[in-house]
Amino acid sequence: VSQGAESQSVDGGTAAAQPAVSECPVPLHERTTVMLRNLPNDYSRDMLLDLLDQEGFKGSYDFIYLPQDFKRHAGLGYAFVNLINHEEAMRFREHFGGFNKWRFSSQKICEAAWGAPLQGLEQHIFRYKNSPLMHPEVPDEFKPLLFKDGVRINFPDPTKRIRPPRMKLSATQAAGASAGAGGEENSAPEEASEA
């Protein structure tokens, strides 16, 4: 499975699914994007940024994306972090593989794997600059971020019209809607995948 199978995916994933690993076409010695899995779901993007900085990685990453459930305002348990070079990415993977010193009590043990299929800052910028996640109606806390020398910078302007994300109905809600019960929208936006 690839990152395209992510849960809050505007590309059609489900809120319960996590992306699985796929082969990465980028040679190992050039990889800079790490996928963190088994993050506490209550971690916000800001909490994750604080954690990365407190653990000695401030200024070492240039992209971060923590997919979240729009309605619950909760993380989906994984994130993508692009480091500024391969050496920092290796240090990052080593540090966060097996990490369990969360801000609050959690049994989760972090896994750090190479991101796939996207690797490198340019691929992430290309993937997200025209994404519905970047639409003005989407709150900032749900958007991927770019950094330069540890300071947040703006995403490049989109090259085409950005559509607002569509919300998908959960299976239960869709069944209720088709039965005339008028199901409520699921909290998973249809766009946020890596692929």
Give the tokens for residue 191.
Answer: 């766009």
pLDDT at 26: 82
Instruction: Report pLDDT digits (tens) over 31-55.
Output: 999 999 999 999 999 999 999 999 9
Q: Which helix (H) or strand (E) holds 165?
A: none
pLDDT at 167: 65
Instruction: Report pLDDT digits (tens) over 106-143.
Output: 999 999 999 989 999 999 999 999 999 999 989 999 99
pLDDT at 168: 52
| DSSP-derived secondary structure for 77-138 | SEEEEEESSHHHHHHHHHHHTT----SS------EEEE--S--SHHHHHHHHTTSGGGSTTS
Q: Tell me which of 7 and 32 has the higher pLDDT.
A: 32
Task: Please tell me what DSSP assigns to residue 158.
Answer: P
Mean pLDDT for the stretch of residues 160-188? 53
Mean pLDDT for the stretch of residues 149-166? 92
pLDDT at 35: 97
Model-level pTM? 0.76
pLDDT at 184: 35
Nearest one of 118, 144, 106, 89 to 19, comparing CA atoms: 118
pLDDT higher than 50, residue 186: no
